[in-house]
Amino acid sequence: MYRMHNKLNPTLMYLVTLACILVSHLLDFGLAANSSSPRVSPRTKNASKAFFVFGDSLVDNGNNNFLITSARADSPPYGIDYPTHRPTGRFSNGKNIPDFIGEHIGVGPLLPYLDPNLSGKKLLNGANFASAGVGILNDTGMHFVDIIRMPYQLAYFEKYKERVHSLIGKQETEKLVNKALVLITIGGNDFVNNYYFVPNSLRSLQYKLPDYVTLLTKEYQNILMKLYKLGARKVLVTATGPLGCAPAILALRSQNGECIEELQKAADLYNQKLSAMTAFMNKKLGSDVFVYVESHNIIKDMTKNSKTLGFEVTNKACCGQGPYNGLGLCTGLSNLCPDRNKYMFWDAYHPSERMNRLIVEEMYSGFKYMKPMNLSTLMAIDSTKI
């Protein structure tokens, strides 16, 4: 059988391989349709791989717990629905997006890079370098003081590689990083904690919005190229969400619960540029290294179909105070909704655990919002070395 297979022409071999992947996806879809819990395909579960995360509070797993900053989620009721029912540093009532991605690809919960427990063989699982409050620009989130800005996240990644070198050698380390999945989520803070809601914002005085978005995408391209040079070959790049609809923004600007058009236009302009930039980089590199995730459209469509999905509240945070529970931090003194599963937002800016789960399910199995491929296809290609 194998001798006959080796004689197949390249086109037929490609079609056979493609058919195998499609059958695999149909099987995965069938399994998922019969279970509410996330499924991990045997191929991805048994394969040895790592997972790396970069970005802001949407994906921070607790690095800021080890820093002197107000951008922290280390006190109740954060973590109320996490398996330990204790705060972890995740800006969620439970699990966040990296957690659910890890479940789908067979990687256990990532440790924050600053966690002293991240050592030895635990390093081979990957690491989370994200830090709440950061942006693409180094001057974003200055009021948060001690956060891991993007140049330092990348520097920590280089340090991570050095540490792994000492465990498994340079060649195996490069192979580990090349095969790993990378997630980067950043950009929202450059609007809400720099251009817009910072008193006397220098950036808003320097740049008109289109020019500012151009600056952001140019700097982001440099960050992505640095990741590529460090060995990343499978990178999920997420769009920023519909900024004008976050409870925090509604509390500050909305009169009757309507989303703020100015922020929506800013997010749309940025996301269009980001999509074009990732496509350009893939063409330049001659490979689909960067997979663009239309997070904003996922959230917009889920909001439109909220009743069908079981959400009863779409514009108010579960935890907070003031209009739309959008003012200040989520603390033990805040208003707290009794059923987190009915809320799309957990706090003033961040999705609830259930929302995070649904977003990742769309990323993994859907095709509408993933350019040029969804996560299951990305992992299958990695597994079969196509």
For the stretch 82-107, pLDDT in tens is: 999 999 999 999 999 999 999 999 99
Mean pLDDT for the stretch of residues 170-175: 95
Q: What is the DSSP string of 149-199?
A: -HHHHHHHHHHHHHHHHHHH-HHHHHHHHHHSEEEEE--THHIIIIISSST
**Residue 1's pLDDT is what?**
35
pLDDT digits over 186-230, tens only?
Answer: 999 999 999 999 888 999 999 999 999 999 999 999 999 999 999
pTM: 0.87
d(CA 333, CA 345): 18
pLDDT digits over 324-369, tens only?
Answer: 999 999 999 999 999 999 999 999 999 999 999 999 999 999 999 9
Mean pLDDT for the stretch of residues 100-126: 97
Averaged pLDDT of the chain: 89
d(CA 247, CA 270): 21
Q: Which of 99, 115, 347, 382 is catalytic?
A: 347
Helix axes 97-105, 353-365, angle to 10 degrees: 40
pLDDT band at 32 (very low <50, low <70, confident <90, very high): very low
Q: Which of 28, 41, 268, 350 is catalytic?
A: 350
Higher-pLDDT residue of 85, 7: 85
Whether 143 is a known active-site residue: answer: no
Domains in the chain: boundaries: 42-242+252-292+357-384
Sign of CA dihedral 168, 172, 174, 175: negative
Q: Is the pLDDT of residue 53 over 80?
A: yes
Burial class (CB in 10 A: 0-12, 13-18, 19+), 47: middle
**Residue type for 190, please?**
D
Give the rounded percent of residues in the chain with a pLDDT score beyond 90: 84
**Residue 381's pLDDT is what?**
80
Counting Cα atoms < 13 Å in the Cβ hemisphere of 8 gives 13
Name beta bridge partners: 53: 128, 183
**Residue 321's pLDDT is what?**
98
pLDDT band at 382 (very low <50, low <70, confident <90, very high): low
CATH classification for the domain delimited by 42-242+252-292+357-384, as one of 3.40.50, 2.40.128, 3.30.420, 3.90.25: 3.40.50
d(CA 208, CA 231): 35
pLDDT digits over 282-338, tens only?
Answer: 999 999 999 999 999 999 999 999 999 999 999 999 999 999 999 999 999 999 999
d(CA 48, CA 103): 14
Whether 28 is a known active-site residue: answer: no
**Residue 49's pLDDT is what?**
85
d(CA 42, CA 49): 13
What the block records as the tokens of 286 is 């001659």
d(CA 125, CA 72): 24
Mean pLDDT for the stretch of residues 173-196: 97
d(CA 291, CA 293): 6
What the block records as the tokens of 382 is 């990695």
Whether 104 is a known active-site residue: answer: no
Q: Give which of 109, 224, 107, 219 is closest to 157, Cα–Cα.
A: 224
Q: Which of 28, 41, 56, 57 is catalytic?
A: 57
